[in-house]
Structure 1
Amino acid sequence: MENVNVAELVERLGSDEDAVRKMAVFKLQGNIGDPSFADLFIAEGGLTRLKYLTLNASGNTLAYSLTSFSRLLDVDKGWECVDVELVERVINILRGAMSICVSVVSHPHAGGRNSPQPDMFGFRALKPAIAIYPQFLEMLVSRLSSADHALCANALQLINSLMRDSITHDSEAEWPKFIQRLQDLGVIRAVYNLMQDSALQDLAHPLLEFQSLTKVLLRKWKEIPLNQEKPEHRRALKGIHLASNQKGSEEVLEKEKESTNTTSNAADDAKRSKRHHPEKWRRLGFESESPATEFYGVGFLGMMDLADYVRSHQDEFQKMLLEQSTKPSRQRCPIARASLAVTSILYEHFEVDKSEMDDSKNYMLMDSRSSLDRLFRPLLLHWTRLHVAGLQAFFRMWKATAAELDDLDKLIELVRILIESVVGGAARTKDVQDVEEELANYEYARLRELQMELLELTYEDAWGQHLRQVREELHHEALQFVKEQRTRCLLRGAWFSLEAGSGSKSDPVTTAKASNASHQYVQLSHNRRYLHFGEFNSLGERAPELDALPEKIDLSAVSSVVSNISAPDNTSTSTVKTAPRAATKITIHGYAPSSTSHGQGHNHSNSKHHRSTSRSTAKEIILLVLRPSSHSEASEWLDGLLMLLNQQPITSETTKLIDLVGNYGLKIRLLNVRFDDATFAGEAPPVPGRGGVG
């Protein structure tokens, strides 16, 4: 500071010559960081001239001015000059600087032959500067949180350009390090927040590109085959092995061997202690002792997912292995295979193989907020967390269903449906933590119902016409099944309570004689043509014989069956009302039989003619009133009588039973037919014989 005249320096800052101003501000940036120099500089009026240069200068003069102003603020001085005008100027400079960087990084490597500086394009153009200023990337990521959308978009566009160039041109050992560095700086969380923000429209282009680049990364990791000759691959496998705490299981194995071979000498014991566990990899859930071959479908991406789970949930991993070691091999949960399956499920769910060209075309068609909500998938950025949540859901279902190795494919399919439902159904603004909780709490029974619904929809699309035909056939079969069940309830007979004035109205004499009766017994005849009944003073220990029932009703004489049982969403000739259970009753209406037909000597050959002539003149009366003791019994008798009269059942209980039987029949057929089975084409397979069948 002794060699610098502050007053002279301030005077040169206001010179008309740019060279003089540039040299003055160059000297200023080296001294302004000293608080005492800063005080003298402000006292001489230098702050006003420095602000003027910051707002109006260009080139190196502007760069030196910005540096000087920054260092002045670092010593907590000059804040009185910070205003809206200054901030806007700085942001505009930053936007322009980032735009230039984007152009430089995005410029194709293959320049013309006359290009003077071919190394000044792509990521390699920025590498020297990033090496000198390591905080550059941190600053760049921090700009993603800026409230200035244009600045934020430029920063993200530059990050995209750096990522793309690094992935395309760096070696296999270099680009993962750069990507990891960006992730460590928090780029995933920052972009995730932007995708969930309400200002999505302003950042749509760079956000879509980042989402596409994420898929590019996943594809590259998947396409890298696992190779134990590569140090990083070998380290990843070794890390999984070490995290399994295999020493404890080896001690258990040694004890088992000692119990079966007590004659081993000390030398043999020492040799055995160095030997690997015979199921070193199979105990972790691999199918063989050569795990590298099992990563064929998911490549190094599958290894990364498994290694990350083992590293971040080591206690859970070791506890599971310890629990599984006590079970027979067929009942042990294949942790490694489950992990690889979840990786594959996520890969297919997010359509990672879909090209960037498809994403770009979709964006061109997206012009509304709802369209953007469908296009952007923020959860893709939290791939690792979704993998862990999906894997833990697999473990939970394995335990809940007491599954065995033969059930592995079935459980994988359930996890696929779970992820499609929860992750696929999540709104753009839904937080990843909420998705994790939903995956963890999804009920197995509800998942199975969803599986059957999806199965029906799948077959509906493939076999629509045939499936509708099958459904109609099964509904008819279910209707006949329930009709038979209800009819057998009538054949079995039942006791009903009597109230004053109830019973048969066809014979006033009988009614008066049995006025003291409190119960009646009703039963359908074996030929299903007559309804026999009788009234009794009390319930007998045994049901009365059919011949002991003095009265009967010819069902051909019944005109209608009326009840006050609730039957929502059904229409029929019956009166439909809601009544208390104690007041439930079924009233059978019909035509009073003539004296000739009422007795035992009725001539059947003349019955049809008699009915046709009598109904035209006879008056409809109440033939019988039944008072069921329960809603279930009322449903059985009401619908049983209606179905005997070839009418549709009306109670909700019977309707649910018909639907249940029909749906189960459909599900059984669907579960026993493969999707690619030519069930409705070609010749039917031969029907197996019944030999040996019980």
Structure 2
Amino acid sequence: MSNHNSLPPRSPLSTTPPNNGSQAKSGLVPTNNVTTSDGLTVRARIDPTLTVADVVKQLCVNLKIKGSPSDFALRDENHELVTNDNLRKKIKAKLNLKLVNAPHKEGREIAEKLQVRDQKTMRLTLHSLQKYIRENEFAQEFINYDGVTQLVDIIFTSQGNTLAYALAAMQNLMELDYGWAFLDDAFIFRVVQVLSSPSSLINVCRPATAILKKLVEADPANAPGPQAGSSKSGPAIVPGSVYRYGFTAVFEQMRKEKSLLETVVSRLGSADTAMAQYSMMLINSLVSHASDLRWEEFIAEMERLNIRKAVVRLMSQHTMEDLTSCILDFQANMLRVTYRKKTTPIDLEAQPSHAADLKSIWAHSRLMEEVDEKGQQLKWRKLGFDTEDIEIEFNDVGVLGLECLKRFVERDPDFSKVILEQLSRPAERRCPIAKASNEVVELLSEHWAIFAPGYSTSTTFQPFFLEFYKVHALATEFLSTNVERQRGCVWRFYSSSRSVALRSENVRAWHEVEHDLLECEYRAVRDRQMKELELEDDLLSKVPVRNLRAKIYKESFEFVRQQRIQCLLQGAWFVIALPSNSPLPRDSTRRPNKPWRFVRLDNGLKYLHYVDSAVKFPVRSGLEDLPDRIEIAAISEIATGTCAPPPNVLRDHNDLPPTSPLAPSPLSFSLLGVHEQGSLADLIAPDPSRWADWTDGLNMLRRDGGHVASKETAGFVQALTEIGLKIKLLDLSGERVEIPSGLTAGPPPSNLDFFFSDLM
């Protein structure tokens, strides 16, 4: 640093305000106000090449502050710690600085204050703890002085705003990957109790929800680095690691408080958008991390609480971008749930619930079991199945097919009359309702790309998908009233009507779907079907080909996903944007000093490193040129179309089309933190491809994410799937090989005197 007057070289400050003459001589060297804990404010010209330790040392010497300089630190007016990485930026921005206790000293003092439990100062102490607990040096000292134990005790014994501050401090501590591995079941249950109470304050519920979400995601399988102790039973828990909780640990405590899930679902309709967002994020984490042991129980409870309807209502009511990503994540999670149900076979011996569902279906039919002319059982064939082997009949649609048929039967009070009417018709004019139900499940699975447990490629809301059972019931009813006139393939007939009824579902009303499926004219559907028959190859409707498409779809998605992440690893230049709802600068024509930002993902996939610059420059490989960073785990949402370009940046370059400074750019996106943090970065991509690479790549990196934001990425996955399918089929159709619709197993060997030969 240098004095405005005549202090020795590299002296850190001048204690008197400079006069106009000295200001003129100082040129563009920035001056910062520095305030001490005693309220003394001085002006200092700080040499940006010094380390923070040197700056603090010289300040202590010049201001004659008692104590070791190592016990002091600098913070800006927003309480952010000044470090060697951000010192230069804060000096050039002429921010007001404060000379305060060093983080390690502050951590020790706050831990000691919590032990005293003075109610007069408790809230102020906890408020400071919220701000500083994320800093490693502070956190380590706070932990060493038993501060976390004191914090947990306060959470057990306090209420109201004191509890809110304590929970928020714990939430911020849990952003670190150490210091909270000792939290036990009693603590988890305490948080569950707080969250399940309808009388809990909103500012209490928000951090409590975030804590449960963090505990769910702190699964040994999510621990960074190789799992050396992993086995067939799952990854081992490393001693001292915070990755020792997971879904099972949380859900076991949730089961003790029956009202918790109901309360969380009800908060999706909260007028507080942040509360709805936190609740949605917790639900997504629970669904995506549910263990095999409790998966069926948990999903059944969520279905009982009608979570799908609550999210559909949220789709039409939400007004903030914060919720968009959460809703799309939920859609992706429901796709995985639907796929898992579809691929879970019916097991009447091991799963009593499956037998109970079949018993309910048969009871609603009000039919009597008989014997056919061959003396064989005649029961399920009356409902439209081909055989009496019910497990084989549901082989392609699994538990999903069983649940759909059960809900269809229970939804129609006249189901027994419908069945009797079908049985009264000649065999060739009957609608095999049970078989048609399974066919509809297959068709809807194809329509919504329920091919694999991977990510969803939907870029818009799909309310009709969330109403899967309702759509299935409508479609099956449609078939039961029209198939006798079709006298053909159920698959083809419904395909033609499905493409009409379910189009543009993100903007259509439910009553329009009902009209299309229940009141459309048979002739119109038939005409559309005949046109499609001219274009469609019968080969594509066969079950083996549909299964092949599902496999190729999964491979295509993973290929595109890896490509997107590679783009993040390479890095890219962006324009630093302005929030579209922010007021224009006073001088709306003035170009920002540093309008460009280069961003690159590190090889560990944990941080986005970046540098701001006045101009673009060649960035070397690695991270040496990128001093600042954003933690991926801190990003809760990637919102798109949220911000506008700064004045006189895009017009001077050909990278982007000119747009109004107030208008949001379609190539903009924001990295949103939790609700209190706001936006971590507002950027504008140079072109649509780069925008798709980064928005989708970042979504795919998040633990609770998985949806695709751009139509470009979704289009790539679909195009690769279709190309791969056609290439595979060329090997078969070119040789005129007949693909069967199903395979039947022959009789088992009469003895064990055989072996499988190796094919050469």
TM-score under structure 1 length normalisation: 0.46
TM-score under structure 2 length normalisation: 0.43
**Rg larger for:** 1
